[in-house]
Amino acid sequence: MRDFLRVKRSASGLGLFTTKDIMQGTFIMEYTGNLISTQQAESRGGRYLFKINSKWAVDGKGRENMSRYINHFCQPNCEVQISKKMVLIYASRDIEKGEELGYDYGAEYFLAHIKTKGCKCPYCRFKKIIES
Ligand SMILES: [Zn+2]
């Protein structure tokens, strides 16, 4: 694990936070796990499956995959790039020391796992406060 990242409590359970400033475009970490077929992924199910394309997914439930603590953000500060079946996470903007990291999990995941419970990302929490 990158030594400047810490797992801490966040609004959505546990989250991954940075203890130093990160510049936009910086490679943060790989979403690691076993490469499995999307068929296997669909029969296994679970929250830590990362679909790479129509054929392959990464099962990131293992403890060594610290990036599984990165939560969904509707206004993300990280983005994912797929390269040779690897899931690589980069900073999509400058991130300040102390901020939680988040990327957009995509519409499919959002509808299946987040929407019904209500999104607890910083953007949606802020929106709730100003609307109430
Ligand atoms: Zn949200």
Q: How far apart are the CA of 114 and the centre of ligand 1, in A?
A: 9
Residue 1: Cβ within 10 Å count: 13
112 Cα–ligand 1 center, Å: 14
Of 29, 39, 46, 17, nearest in space to 109 by CA: 46
Contacts of 3 (CB under 8 A, 6+ apart): none
Asked whether the predicted pLDDT for residue 2 surpasses 80, the reply is no
Prediction pTM value: 0.91
Distance from residue 29's CA to the centre of ligand 1 (Å): 22
Tens digit of each residue's pLDDT (9 = 90 or more) over 28-57? 999 999 999 999 998 988 889 999 999 999
